[in-house]
Amino acid sequence: MIPYGRQDISQADIDAVVNVLISDFLTQGPTVPAFEKAVTSFCGAEHGIAVSNATAGLHIACMALDVGPGDTVWTSPNTFVASSNSALYCGAKVDFVDIDPQTYNISIARLTEKLAYAARDGRLPKVLIPVHHCGQSCDMKAIRRLADEYGFRIIEDAAHAIGAFYDGAPVGTCTYSDITVFSFHPVKIITTGEGGLAVTNDSALAEKMRRFRSHGITSDRSVMEARPENEIWNYQQMALGFNYRMTDIHAALGLSQMSRLTEFVDARRRIAVRYDAALADLPITLPWQMPESNSSYHLYPVLVDQDRCGVSQKQFYSALWGGGVAVNLHYIPVYLQPYYEKLGFKRGYCPVAERYFQQAISLPIFPGLADSQQDCVVQQIRDALQAA
């Protein structure tokens, strides 16, 4: 089977991990800050907080922005459940803004409209979590303008988007947002096994996230509360945090992978260009790119519209699986999940995201995908459409 995504592990990656295993520190050692530095240097952000996974990163990002009961967080329905779960963990409510039919990212038109209604009704969100679907940045300048107008904060869910660029700068520069969160799950652009990293230019938010990552504990004397001089207070718990730390073993893999980030993204872009050319004549919709974005191509979704190509999405999906191509679907609109339905969301809420869900198929795209394998995927697609 050809998977839709797969990690690329080199001997250098293996050596880097082994070196940590035989060192003094498996966790809380020097490799975690070294990895944080590598990511912040690449992005041009000031602070990096490595965490056990991006879900944990989104959670402490919400906590740092004081998201809690009584608050509402808005995000895209076309995302993995973690984007909105992070707000639910804080006791907040979530709501969804429909997507743009061309980029599949949050729609600026729908967002503008919804904010105007919310302002009138006194129900503005505290935080917006735009998701850079497939690795193509959202229209961050427009989102920043709306944030300035309506006073909400911004967490970029950049789980797909390390190595992507927007308006000439890397995603993660945090020029238009408060915090950006990356994921290093094996299907993502670079991997640590499990892992994530939050970047920010705000030192107070960075400090809060560092503390929430490690139980809410500090050993910084200047922020500790006064206690009797004869007692040993080498740390204090100041807030209720979690153990969301990344280990040095994972960070070593991430640090080694970071040295190949550009190579990985170039390989993904090359595969996307090959698909663009090989599939151009077919009655399916290929991904569209905003002129100011340079996607990291975590995903390459095509839209299969039965009215246009005579094959249903499900038939197409099954035909490709039958031909040895493990295509996937990103995403089922979050609010259609049974858990979210129980929160009161109904089918029909975000029609563009629902239509996308009923047509989208993610094709294999990852650095190790050989041209011959990609040609096989293209042939399977042609056969599936021919069968109509």
Ligand X SMILES: *Cc1c(COP(=O)(O)O)cnc(C)c1O
Q: Is 132 helix (H, G, I), strand (E, B) or coil?
A: coil
- Nearest alpha-carbon partner for 2 in 374, 384, 385: 374
Closest alpha carbon to 260 in 9, 3, 6, 4: 9
Least separation in angstroms between residue 289's CB and ligand X is 18
Supply the minimum distance, in Å, between the C-beta of residue 304 and ligand X: 22
Which residue intervals of the chain are DSSP H helices?
Answer: 11-21, 31-43, 54-64, 82-89, 108-121, 140-150, 203-213, 248-258, 261-278, 306-309, 313-322, 338-341, 351-357, 371-386
299 part of the interface to ligand X, by CB under 6 A: no
Q: Interacting stretch for ligand X, rule CB under 6 A, among 25-33, 42-50, 119-127, 155-163?
A: 155-163
Of 22-30, 88-96, 152-160, 308-316, the segment contacting ligand X by CB under 6 A is 152-160
Q: Look-up: residue for tokens 């995403």?
A: 331
Pick 299 or 320: Cβ nearer ligand X: 299
Q: Which of 47, 185, 211, 250 binds ligand X (CB under 6 A)?
A: 185
Q: Kindly state whether residue 363 participates in binding ligand X, applying the rule CB under 6 A.
A: no
Considering the complex, what minimum distance in angstroms separates the CB of residue 236 from ligand X? Answer: 29
- If the CB atoms of residues 96 and 384 are measured against ligand X, the closer one turns out to be 96
Contact pick of 40, 136, 183, 200 for ligand X (by CB under 6 A)? 183
From the list 188, 314, 342, 346, the catalytic residue is 188
Three-state DSSP state, 47: strand
111 near ligand X, rule: CB under 6 A: no
CA torsion angle 77 82 84 86 (round to 10)? -170
Binding of residue 156 to ligand X (CB under 6 A) = no
C-alpha angle 82-70-131 in degrees, rounded to nearest 5: 30
Using the minimum distance from each CB to ligand X, give the nearer residue, 77 or 196: 196
Question: Residue 39 interacts with ligand X (CB under 6 A)?
Answer: no
**Among residues 157 and 354, whose Cβ is nearest to ligand X?**
157
- At residue 295's C-alpha, the angle toward residues 111 and 125, to 5°, is 20
In the list 16, 131, 143, 246, the residue contacting ligand X (rule: CB under 6 A) is 131
255 or 311: CB nearest ligand X: 255
Site of tokens 């809690």? 68
Distance CA 175, CA 152 (A): 15
Count the helix, strand and coil residues of the chain and give each as a percent rounded to the nearest 5: 40, 15, 45
Shortest distance (Å) from residue 362 CB to ligand X: 11
Q: Report long-range pairs for 117-121 (Cβ below 8 Å, ≥24 apart).
A: 118/150, 119/150
For residue 53, state whether it binds ligand X (rule: CB under 6 A): yes
DSSP-derived letter for residue 243 is B
- Find the shortest distance in angstroms from Cβ 351 to ligand X: 21
Q: Which of residues 55-84 bind ligand X (CB under 6 A)?
A: 55, 79-80, 82-83
| From candidates 49, 159, 265, 327, binder to ligand X by CB under 6 A | 159
Number of residues that bind ligand X (CB under 6 A): 14
Largest CA distance in the chain: 82
Q: State in angstroms the smallest separation of the CB of 133 from ligand X.
A: 7
188 is catalytic: yes
Q: Does residue 128 belong to the site contacting ligand X (CB under 6 A)?
A: no
- For the bound state, the minimum distance from the C-beta of residue 95 to ligand X, rounded and expressed in Å, comes to 17
Q: In which residue are the tokens 């640090």 written?
A: 255
What are the residue numbers of the active site?
188
Summarize as ranges the residues that interact with ligand X (CB under 6 A): 53-55, 79-80, 82-83, 131, 157, 159-160, 183, 185, 196
